[in-house]
Amino acid sequence: MGALSFLARLGEIVPSTPKPPRRPDLKYRLLFTLAAVVVYYAMASVTVYPRAPGAGPQLPAVMLVVFAATTGTLAQLGIGPIVTAGLIIQVLVGGKLIELDLTKPEDRKLFTQAEKGLALLIAAVEAAGFALAYRQNAFVTTSIALQFFIGALILLMLDEAIQKGYGIGSGVSLFILAGVARTIVWDIFAPVSVEVRLLDGSVRSYRYGVVPYIVDGLMGEGISPDRLIYGYVPGYLAGGQTAMLPSLVGMASTFMLLLIIVYLQGMKVNVPVTIQRAPGIRGRIPLNFLYVSNIPVLLAGILVSNILLIRNMVEAYLPQLRWLASGLDSALVYLSPPRGLFDLIYDPVRSTVYAAILTGLAVLFGLMWVEVGGLSPASQAENLVKSGISIPGMRSNPKVLESVLAKYVYPLAVLSSIIVALLAFVADVFSVFGGGIGLLLAAGILQQIYTALTYERALEMYPMLRRLVGE
């Protein structure tokens, strides 16, 4: 508990937003949420000063999405420190490595403050690490690190303010959604042109956004079926990468997959129960069909991103270990998602191996998250017994309930992990905007925000309901 107390004291350094004496009305909270998004977009658009052109670390795409980060800006760290600190503390508490009873106000406060303190430490370390990657003198490096740290601190404070009731939902979810939404809108409507060096050596400009490209094509520029269907242009971009641009199939797949994900997230598996305080009355405990949500794919993506980061660090700072970088390169070939239908058609073996590895990792992480995330049959049974709920025809014993719930929980964890992994794979194959993991996260967040807005609207319309729920 000593380390946790130290982190909690460190977390007290962060200026804390006081909880509002009265819950602000819905209009105010919506305006505050919108203002937080505007601040985030502004930070993601402001380049740190001074920044050498082309310098700095290039993060994997999945980390940019998951952490709502933008390379070289005040949002370089994004919500990475918050998410990482939350996962670490959650795993330690869920795995019983730290004994905390989150039903007690003092333990809950200690948990929150320790999470803030750990996020502060992670932000400082990451800010220094990213700043060193620019390879500038000590003064410039310190300046860049300070800007990265302040950016992370601002997002941390905004997240806390939103969670305390000034906004809707949580800042972490809001910034992830904002980042994915920006990518989707950019891929659809971006009016900018990109230069592609074609295979014959000539250079041609293409509109980046799907809609501007189609408009230009209908006005006489011509439309390439390969670009429209596969997003493929026979040539190379400025960085030497194969030219893969947003496609019409990708845009249609984005909206279709979004609807499928929302539908699956609304599905429930009901467990019949009885209430001890009201004998004879039966009910149902609904378990989400996607029991572990998108956590397995999220953790798998972070693992692959860390492998890529290690490979880049070895290549940049440890040239004597080129054999390790070469080995990681070979592994990353099969750990990288296919870049659209084009990759699947011309290299089906690599795509199949990637799908198998992703599914295996998702199942592994899904089962792990059930145990450390408070979703295990033992945890669920304990909560049911404390609530006075039992399974019909069985004694109200945690061990008995645990054996029954295990028949639901573990199959759901495995099945939902496989489904989420396959959804992410299909999303990558059809080049959905925002990426497979990004779209999965955005769909879940959208549903959470919709539920929160519906709840808040009901409280606004029916004041008596506010008293009943204790708001």
User: Tens digit of pLDDT for each residue in 92-147?
Assistant: 776 666 776 666 777 777 778 888 888 888 888 888 888 877 778 888 888 989 99
- In terms of Cα–Cα distance, which of 71, 37, 74 is closest to 55? 71
Query: pLDDT per residue over 12-31, tens digit each?
Result: 777 777 888 777 888 888 99
Mean pLDDT score, 300-313: 76
Nearest to 117 by CA among 220, 14, 241, 189: 14
- Does residue 158 carry a pLDDT above 80? yes
Report residue 211 CA to chain centroid gap: 27
Q: At what angle are helices 348-372 and 80-94 packed, to 10 degrees?
A: 60
* Helix (H), strand (E) at residue 109: helix 105-132
| Residue 356 pLDDT | 93
pTM above 0.75, yes or no: yes
Return the CATH number of the domain spanning residue range 247-471. 1.10.3370.10
Q: Which two tokens mark 108?
A: 């809950």
Top CATH class of 1-186 equals: mainly alpha
User: If you ran DSSP here, which 8-state letter would residue 304 be given?
Assistant: H
If one compares 140 and 339, the residue with the highest pLDDT of the two is 140
Backbone angles phi, psi at 236, to 5 degrees: -135, 145
Residue 268's DSSP bridge partners are: 288
Phi-psi domain of 107 (left: phi exceeds 0; alpha: psi -120 through 50; beta: other):
alpha
**Whole-number average pLDDT of the chain:** 81
Distance from C-alpha of 309 to C-alpha of 315, rounded to nearest angstrom: 10
Query: Taking the chain, what is the end-to-end CA distance rounded to the nearest angstrom?
Result: 33
The one-letter code for the residue type at 361 is L
Lowest mean pLDDT among 185-189, 307-311, 440-444: 307-311
Question: What pLDDT, in 10s, does the model give residues 447-456?
Answer: 888 888 887 7
Structure tokens at 124: 């400082």
pLDDT of residue 470 exceeding 60: no
- Give start-end residues of each CATH 1.10.3370.10 domain in the chain: 1-186, 247-471
Q: How far is it, in rounded angstroms, from Cα 118 to Cα 141?
A: 23
Helices 377-386 and 398-429 pack at an angle, to 10 degrees, of 130
Residue 274 and residue 278: Cα distance in Å, rounded? 8
Positions of E strands within 120-199: 193-198
Query: Does the pLDDT at position 53 exceed 50?
Result: no
pLDDT of res. 467: 61
Maximum distance among all alpha carbons in the chain? 80
